[in-house]
């Protein structure tokens, strides 16, 4: 597996943006000459320790699409039928957040804010009306996503469910810390640890629509671009966060996405 990072050197987000690859778990990051993991350039000959890098979200998507009701176990608990097509909503670009960033609810909102630990697909090429084989090969890699949600906004107006508003508040879309190529998603598990307590632990194999199916079906209607993220949906264990809560979304092989909810 290759684990790709996007980062700035010097301990903050204001330094020069670099990309690099880690080929050995806990080993150094090999620094490349490019500024995008999708077009990294050549190996610069330099290596740095992970502790020397301020990690950024690993790609800059044109869009983040997310699924609802994509896990059999959660659907059964909610009494929901398996959908015939992926049920998709969008998180806007202002929601994208880096590993380590604080999550803050908007000043206009005083309701519940929940975490949702999820596996994210990272698109590697332009995708439109793909075949099954092309859909799988279009996946560059996988990352961790916290699909943060202002739950009370979804049904705040009885005449219209406000998914985009509830999901797209500033900073409500952290993802990272890396993008991994070669991950065996069929054997992966998503775990969410909240202030030291494990709240989610579910197998990716329980998906109703697999990652290649998701990409293929969405590409029939929406052209996907390199760097776009598709978050595969969540399963059991979603709960509200309290101020000061630290949320870790963990996928073995990818790493741990950590953010703190400040309320």
Strand order in the sheet with 255-261: 102-103, 255-261, 245-251, 189-194, 197-203
- At 177-222, the pLDDT tens digits run 999 999 999 999 999 999 999 999 999 999 999 999 999 999 999 9
Residue 14: per-residue pLDDT: 61
Q: Is the dihedral of CA 60, 172, 189, 84 positive or negative?
A: negative
| pLDDT of residue 98 exceeding 60 | yes
Q: What is the pTM of this model?
A: 0.96
Residue 9: per-residue pLDDT: 83
| pLDDT of residue 13 exceeding 70 | no
Distance CA 20, CA 95 (A): 24
């Amino acid at each position: 597996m290759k684990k790709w990072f996007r980062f700035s050197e010097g301990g903050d987000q204001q330094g020069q943006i670099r990309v690099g690859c880690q080929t050995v778990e806990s080993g150094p990051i090999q620094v490349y000459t490019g500024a995008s993991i999708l077009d990294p350039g050549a190996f610069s000959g330099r290596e740095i320790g992970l502790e020397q890098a301020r990690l950024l979200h690993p790609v800059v998507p044109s869009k983040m699409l997310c699924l609802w009701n994509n896990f059999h176990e959660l659907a059964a608990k909610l009494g929901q039928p398996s959908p015939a097509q992926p049920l998709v909503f969008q998180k806007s670009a202002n929601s994208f957040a880096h590993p380590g960033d604080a999550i803050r609810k908007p000043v206009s909102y005083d309701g519940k804010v929940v975490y949702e630990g999820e596996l994210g697909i990272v698109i590697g090429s332009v995708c439109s009306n793909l075949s099954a084989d092309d859909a799988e090969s279009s996946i560059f890699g996988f990352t961790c996503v916290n699909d943060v949600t202002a739950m009370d906004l979804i049904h705040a107006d009885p005449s219209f469910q406000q998914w985009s508003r509830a999901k797209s508040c500033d900073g409500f879309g952290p993802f990272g810390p890396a993008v991994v190529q070669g991950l065996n998603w069929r054997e992966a598990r998503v775990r969410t640890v909240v202030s030291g307590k494990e709240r989610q632990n579910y197998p990716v194999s329980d998906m109703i629509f697999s990652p290649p199916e998701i990409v293929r079906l969405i590409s029939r209607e929406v052209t996907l671009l390199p760097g776009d993220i598709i978050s595969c949906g969540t399963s059991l264990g979603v709960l509200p966060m309290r101020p000061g809560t630290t949320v870790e979304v963990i996928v073995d092989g990818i790493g741990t996405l950590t953010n703190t909810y400040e309320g």
